[in-house]
Chain A
Amino acid sequence: MTNPEVLRYTQESGDFSRLLSSIPYAETIGLACDRFGDDLIFRLPRKAENLGNPILPAIHGGVIGGFMELSAAIYLMMSQDALRMPRIVDFSLDYLRAGLDRETYAECRLTRQGNRVANVQVTAWQKSRTQPIATARAHFLLED
């Protein structure tokens, strides 16, 4: 994924398939991404292997976390000129509703961009954007 050619292709074309298929964890959970103008919407299609709670059934909280974390990293990378994956420093996640066994969406916002650290806010929802299932914020290190 640090392959600059793939990153440049993704940035220019808005086609995320090559980038995502180069990240095994993204494939494992099934993360997808669509670009609408400048906006990115991340998607986590329904997948039986992603479930945790079998009673509801609901998506494993860790998968929701991983989905939001990877979405934030990709979002941040696409908004940078430097084509490299940022390193995550910390991640704080509030679970607001059960993530049911259906497609999940996420969008990100760059809250603050410093020289070395960036703060990204992530919101995940299913049925309605106005009813998020989780919100998260993450700090990323931009250099190493």
Chain B
Amino acid sequence: MTDDIRFGRVTRFLETLAQVRTLGIEATEARENHLVLRLPYSEKIIGNPETRVIHGGAITTLMDTASGSVVICALDDFELCPTLDLRVDYMRPAEPDQPVFARAEAYRVTRNIIFTRCEAYQETDGQTIANCVATFMRIGREATPKAYRDLITGGEA
């Protein structure tokens, strides 16, 4: 599978997620077992109006989405993999007015479970904002409706 196909699948997958559209999260880079997503800064995700720092919940959504979508970059066939657990360590608050990136990696893929790790950072100084490890369960290709699979893999050459 080429990286263009991976990028296309991830992009179409993200478009089906309402919360991801609401926050404006987009893919910027997709490779085998590797994915980078971008969360733009916006007023609606501010957690502290005085410092204008975005809420950890938006970072959690970014990292959960990156970790869940890197699964697409790790499997040949598209299948929905529910999150089993997620652990986020917050290193420092994100700088206001700057996008936050999440770089995710699927570092172990087994028949039943996919293990991921993810780092959130900003471009300004490259320092880590948060780290996340997560596990996803594989429920199998057939558990994902064909119409949805076709929507994600559709349009591939």
Contacts and interface: CB of A to CB of B under 8 A. Distances in A.
Interface of A: 1-3, 22-25, 27-29, 48-55, 59-63, 65-67, 69-70, 85, 87-95, 98
B45 A70 contact: no
Contact of B90 (A1, A50, A88): A88
Interface string B80-93: 10111111111000
A95 B64 CA distance: 12
A93 B86 contact: yes
Given A28-B44, A69-B56, A85-B48, A55 B80 contact: yes
Contacts of A92: 85-88
B61 A28 contact: no
Contacts of A95: 82-86
Contact of B44 (A27, A62, A67, A90): A27
B127 interface: no
Contact of B19 (A3, A50, A87, A91): A50
A61 B64 contact: yes
A58 to B, nearest CB: 9
B148 interface: yes
Given A24-B45, A51-B18, 13 more contacts: A2-B50, A24-B44, A28-B22, A49-B21, A52-B18, A55-B148, A61-B64, A65-B61, A69-B57, A69-B60, A87-B90, A93-B85, A95-B82
Interface residues of B, number: 40
A66 B82 contact: no
A51 B50 CA distance: 29
B49 A24 contact: yes
B98 interface: no
B68 A61 contact: yes
A66 B56 contact: yes
B51 to A, nearest CB: 8
A52 B89 contact: no
Contact of B88 (A24, A87, A90): A90
A61 B64 CA distance: 7
A138 to B, nearest CB: 9
Contacts of A85: 47-48
Give the 10 A-B CB pairs with smallest separation, nearest first.
Answer: A66-B57, A62-B61, A25-B55, A60-B19, A62-B64, A65-B60, A51-B18, A24-B46, A49-B22, A28-B44
A25 B20 contact: no
Contacts of A87: 90
A66 B58 contact: yes
Contact of A62 (B46, B65, B87): B65
A28 B87 contact: no
B30 interface: no
Nearest to A141: B90
